Structure 1
């Protein structure tokens, strides 16, 4: 390996020096501590910024110690120094500059000195590191800076101690109010302080040695600002309005004036006293009309002299003074506006005690006279608004008084027309009061109400006929024939008192119910039926007019009431019901178009023929329950029920009840309505049951016809020979059945002789006519089947299927079993016929001989 060049060695040396400089340790710090340290005990504080300006991470190499951002070192756990010295390091890292520094901390153990004299242990006396709180008078005049305290530590006898402070007023807002001399511990204030702004300053005091050791725990020293009486009491708001009714009694509380003082509470600086220093207007009797509580500021009435009609408002000037009201205390004033409320202590009076006026007869709404009112109470209030009452002379209600709210004037008017012939003069007595009740003041006399008299004189006027009565109530029964006389309505001449020469007619009949002739007789105009759909109302007002010989007229009103007649009988609205197997009673409800007394209560009854099966139980006046007497069969029942009204007018309604085998009426249908019952005396068949019976009968008839045809075809024809059942042991059987040829042995092929051929979808069949037997070969599922039917010497294997061929349906039931009994496969047929064949062969045919 080649030696390094001098330049490369120099560069390496510089790099190591730089690395050593970046990670070099700062100066060592030594602290003297007791041999045993409790958790969270302050060891001291080191200057971190002197070692590394901006450390991002501050840790301790020993987990028993923690280091804060200000450099304070505390024990995390209980530490016991087994030796006289313990060393650890404070690690500082700057992540941005990639720097790392260490501060080595040495802890020296020094036990407490104890002097033993015989058996008595002498300990150190009380230390001076915890002075009493410092007080400063607010707004002090100085001179500044002004010394306010001196801090001293007992450890200054051993170490060279320097002092420092921090906290509010030092390095926290407000900054610069206090500072301390590091060598002497003298604490100074730099400026006057307002207690209302800052009441106290908790500053933290430190005592440490020149090397950073802190033998004393940081001390929280409280600097209090003593209050100076520099704030006067203030009323907020300065003006307050109070209300008090007039004629109030002495001692009535009106309100309270309250002032506040910013000085220190619970001192003479905030001990306030109140007093009244002025009043406007002044009391006519001298002195003050009001009193005030010197401690609470509550205002009360001094004497019952408030009269709103004389003075309605007072201005009271109130003073509040601190220092418990002493003359040297600070003070301010506020204004109390006391408004006197009106009460109804004055009765309204009529402007005149007697009024006289004239009014024409038969005039409605005519103004007769205005009655003015005088009232001393507050205008526009309920104590001023007048009320009028006619206490005499208006027994028939012919007069009324209308009041004007703004002017408080009452106007007497006619409510009805006055009749000169009956009374030519009316004398009215009117009493006047207020809306609000009267209130008596202290030692006041009772209030008397005002009464005035109005004489009303009636002037005679030539009048037209007058109907008597002016409104006629006419009750007309419904369903009367048109033109029936139902009443008469006459008018009379008020001058003569008779009805001669007066003619009548209708001028307004909106319903067209009645007519009226010249004599005043009233008849029905048409047939009136309350139940008619075009008749929606049962009362009609008809206006009639009467005309005398001079042409004067008068009107009257006929009120026609259409009365109800008992022309309807009650009926049951719902006529069809379903009763399930629980036989729950059916509720029948009846209605009647007629009104009382021709309506409810209704009576329900059954005819005698239905009482053995059903019964009626009355429920209420409009309904009844229908229930069976005993067990009843399923089916549909029609039950006649008679319902009568309160006047014993009734009719019969047929009710249809369907008794069904169901749980709820919605489950009932025709198939479940009549279940099969052997013991049921009455059986009702449904539509589907009847249809099934008809189809079954038709099918049975078709089968019978088919069998008859088959039997008819199986009878021997002409000279046909009879073939017995025993084909093997009896006579020679003549047959056209051919055996398979020697060259054709396929069991699936059966040659047949020429004859009639029938083709089916099951295979191929052949039938030979002319007294010969027929057979069929059916091809299916890989083998052939032979079907034969005994009878008449001929064996038929298939039924007729079109064009004279006979087939027997063997698809289901007994026919299928019959066919299976006579069906053979091809091998069985071959085994049966082969032993009986002779050597003789006729054109491919083989005869079986006995």
Structure 2
């Protein structure tokens, strides 16, 4: 089998050589030669005498036979298959030299409205026939962004996001796109290309939201009833409705002509505005355009009667009320639409009982429902109440409402206190707010349980800050004097209070309140020893850890509301050892100036933050004992690590250096890895097998810096196969004796006992320390220990 590229330009191209063995002296070629494939019969060369074209013939099947001198076949035939490989020798070609399409305004971006298609005769299994589409030019293009886009694989053309928004047939109804197609998937500069024009006509989009529809509620027409219609731009769309909100029932439907119907009567009082969407889809269910918002307004009709707000409305009127005085307002409602004629209510009195001293004693405002007196003829001794029936109408429906009018006694009696002076009342200044300190009583001779006899107590003098309040029992008219605000002996030790009793109803002309409606009492506030107050709740101090013992830390101040002398336990000395952050409760106690007056105390929190100073030299945490295997190998090194007990504000930085004389520096060197690690390395391999003591100096980066000096113990030793120092041990014959075993066992047990005992003692210590801390008195908190 042979593979040859198509369209060879070199004639007499030899691509195989056949050999012959006697008695064969020549070769004969037969089969699909197509006048291009030849063989040199004597020399055995198989060659091309022209060009191959894969698109014309991709496979050539041949036979070769060996002939003797007389032309007889001595061997063969042998089959030859020649596969012609593809080369990119065919440019892609569009199906049409010009395409025409229609696009609708506001088309959904990315939704194809047409396709272009090209073919390539090269091998479809190779990149030679893989095509890529793109828009080369866009005429005209009045915007920065392209209005159209193309899928580079499928050739689908659609509007872009910009085009979906800006296409307008009135501004520009024709566009020409120059579309190009490339083979080699458009990934090579050597790709072959072709172009075509696409003429696009922009049409007005028929898929538009219709105006809001209005339908009357409770329609008696046969349903369904036509509301509106929507149209997709082209026939064949599948229409549907989409709920915007979940409803118990959805009373709308749409047919396949886009006509929307209401399927049942609607009630405006149940729902006044319906909002949903109309959709248009393809056969496969894909949406053709954006869902359209649909609004249906339900119009009101007068289908609700007036409703009385109360089953019985009660008014009160004094018997001396003047002509035209307002007595009260009857309230009624209508569920029809507010501020329309359907909900306009009018009132009319249809009956009055009794008709004494005359009928039509009351009138009502037709639109407002407000009652007024038409005559000044009320007399409680003759009639104490009236029943009135009122007709309320909305011009279609009528409702009757019941009204009761009570005639009440005139307020011609004033409240009178049972006594004018309630004396002195002593209370402690810490008496809680709301506590009753005194009860007072006044009486009124007017009709009980009316506005004329109800009593209101008011403190008129002596209480500018409203420290007291008086509440009235409506059944007994008894007054309860209560604490309204926290009292303060230091602000005021006595209150001389004047209380007046009045009625909510105004007094009749000629009657006035006098001294009988006034009472007096005094409140004496007794002092209570209050707790002293610190100037701060929390005191915070920063100090360095190296301050001397006995250094003054802070003075804590407090004052007493009564002016008593304060005894404050001051922190004035620095203890010998403290934690980084130490909290202490500082007590303050007043020293009472009055005999038998109990002292009071309060506390404040003292927080002491200990700041670190650089007072610890660096030390090693790794590498105190090092070893190197003898004989030494080049590049041997051992790692050491340093630390510092001081607080490090940033990452630690140590400097490592070797001490000692020239011998040390001749044999050893130290190299830094990072701020905490370094390598110790022999400088040569001639070191003896022994222990070395190497002076090392480590400096930290404190201000001032601290220096640590130590000796590294380094063992240059013979090593085992595991690269460990080989250690010789004494040769003991046999097993250890019984005494040795008992001694070892006792030693182990004693060690375990020490460990367990230490742990137990530490736990007991922490427990006792916690108990002492919880039981500590303020006088014991003197130091930072």
TM-score, scaled to structure 2: 0.30
TM-score, scaled to structure 1: 0.28
* Greater Rg by CA: 1
